Structure 1
Amino acid sequence: MSTKDRLVEAGLRLLESEGPESLNARKLAAEIGASTMTVYTHFGGMAGLYEALLRQAFVRFGQALAAVEHTDDAVADLLTLGLAYRDFASASPQRYRLMFGVTAPGSSIAPPHDLTEEGSPGGIPEASATFDELREAVQRALDTGRIDGDDPVAIAAQFWSMIHGFVLLEMSGYFGTEGGGVTTVLAPHATNLLIGLGDDPAAVARSVRSARERFGDGAGPPHPGSRTPDVRRGPRPGRTSGRR
């Protein structure tokens, strides 16, 4: 591994274990046994390192989302993508906050785009690629006739708003620390959104159950970096109401 890559890895470790206040040139250099000047040689300063950390965090986020397999149930795939999203954020809360500008120094690294106008949420390709995973999942649900609409970007933005808002509230402890909000808040919210987009309530319930089973079966042990180590990793089928 190159010195540059070692600095990035050290930065990600420190960010997750000690928070953004731990990210300074002296501490990072000490982590890999180098001089402070090494940070400036490879990144031009801390601003360049912050951007490298942001890009690498989005790369790994994208890999987690891309690992969701496609099946014959496009809606279950979409829901499973949401669970993978939440799992990444739960396992790496400081990275997640950095990526979306919730905490300094991330707030000024990657100015957002108006995705409703440009179709992309960010000015760096690593960030845009993660949204593309969601947009493509929505497009599959549209193509299979499960949901209605003619703007996959806007629909993907609705799902993103749902999961992002849930994740931030859960991180802050508003849904407890045992993962119960997945069952009582997130699953019903997703169900209501899908039904509002034209899906059949019974089909939605089957897809929710499938996503829960798929994600739960492959979840494995809790992530060591998670703040919620006992989280239940999939939503249980919520009650559905209303008819198409």
Structure 2
Amino acid sequence: MARDSTVTDSPSNGIAERLIEAAVAMLAEEGPSAIKARTVAARAGMSSMVVYNYFGGIPELLSAVEDHGFNQLGEAFAAVGASEDPVADLFTMALTTLAYARANPHLYDAMFGLSTRATYRPTPAKGERRAGHSPAFNAAYAHVIEAAERLRTVGELTIDHPAAAAGAMWSYVHGYITLELSNHFAEFADPVRQVLVPMGVTFCVGLGADRASALASHETALRRAWHPGP
């Protein structure tokens, strides 16, 4: 299969990155129905054959788009850092994920497959890697597990399995995000404070935290996430 004559074979020519950027932009502007080899290539100023040459097809391009999202999320998690309050760190990452999902709803769907809008993603073939197993996902999620491991440093918390604690927190956060994106919390003036924060506090209390200290940590995260800086 011949490559498009308008591009070079240099590994640093940026063709793959341009196609990913085009697909990400089209997801944001037009939604999943716009993602076709012809339309993405045209957006990038290339022929549709380039998509097949560089990725093999739309399923592989979408996997690369998902990894692009996880790389961005991982960078945002890394920027949270590790403070002396791992509860606040974890909830700051939760709020960071929420902000990312609000800004990139279609990309979020592609990354996590938590919404009915994500029907455009092909079903992985047997043995094919899923987004949750990609190195980009694992690198981002490692920040969540690391913060969950540091929960052991909080005296009143009982953390037998940090990975399980991270998974539980990951589950309720993404459940909330999915419902918010589907407008299930329209009746609340501030669903983050009225729904998400109480869930997080209850989660920490279930691990043995004092309710007041758990709430204080969540308030710290709100200040950090919504009003970053000194």
What's the TM-score once normalised by structure 1's chain length? 0.80
Shift of 1:212: 1.5
Structure 1 segment 90-239 matched on structure 2, within 5 A: 90-101=102-113, 102=115, 103-106=118-121, 108-109=123-124, 122-176=132-186, 180-218=190-228
Please state how far the C-alpha of 1:144 moved relative to its aligned partner. 3.2
Aligned: 1:49 with 2:61 = yes
- Against the structure 1 CA distance between its residues 179 and 10, is the aligned structure 2 distance closer, same or farther, given a 3 Å change threshold? farther
Opposite residue 183 of structure 1, the aligned amino acid is R
**Deviation of 1:189 (Å):** 0.7
Kindly indicate which of the two structures has a greater share of residues assigned to helix.
Answer: 2
Secondary structure in 1 matching 2:119: coil
List alignment gaps of at least 5 residues for structure 2: 1-12
Q: Unaligned 5+ residue runs, structure 1?
A: 113-120, 220-244
Confirm or deny: 8 A CA contact 1:100 1:107 kept in the other structure: no
> After alignment, is 23-32 or 96-105 more displaced?
96-105
Distance change >3 Å, CA 179–CA 50, structure 1 → 2 = farther
Write the deviation string for residues 30-61 of structure 1: whole angstroms up to 9, x where unpaired.
11221111111111222221121121111112
Offset of residue 194 of structure 1: 0.4
Q: CA deviation at 1:149?
A: 2.0
Is the contact made by 1:99 and 1:106 (CA closer than 8 Å) also made in structure 2?
no
CA RMSD of aligned residues (A): 2.0
Query: Residue 98 of structure 1 contacts residue 107 of structure 1 at CA under 8 Å; is this kept in 2?
Result: no
Query: 2:48: which partner in 1?
Result: 36
Alpha-carbon spacing, 1:163–1:107, altered in 2? closer, same or farther (3 Å): farther
Q: 2:90 touches 2:148 (CA, 8 Å); kept in 1?
A: yes
User: Can you list the C-alpha shifts for 1:53-100, whole angstroms capped at 9, x where unaligned?
Assistant: 121111112112221122221211111111111111111111110011
Which one of 81, 99, 104 corresponds to residue 69 of structure 1?
81
Change (3 A) 1:49 1:177: farther
Structure 1, 15-24 or 164-173: larger mean CA deviation: 15-24
Residues 88, 217 of structure 2: 8 Å contact kept: yes
Identity %: 35
Alpha-carbon distance in structure 2 between the residues aligned to 1:49 and 1:179: 39
What CA deviation, in whole Å up to 9, does each residue of 1:84-129 have, x standing for no partner? 11111111111110011241343535755xxxxxxxx832111122
Equivalent position amino acid for 1:127 in 2: F
Q: Given the two structures, how large is their TM-score scaled by the length of structure 2?
A: 0.85
Assess if the C-alpha contact under 8 Å between 1:65 and 1:84 holds in 2.
yes
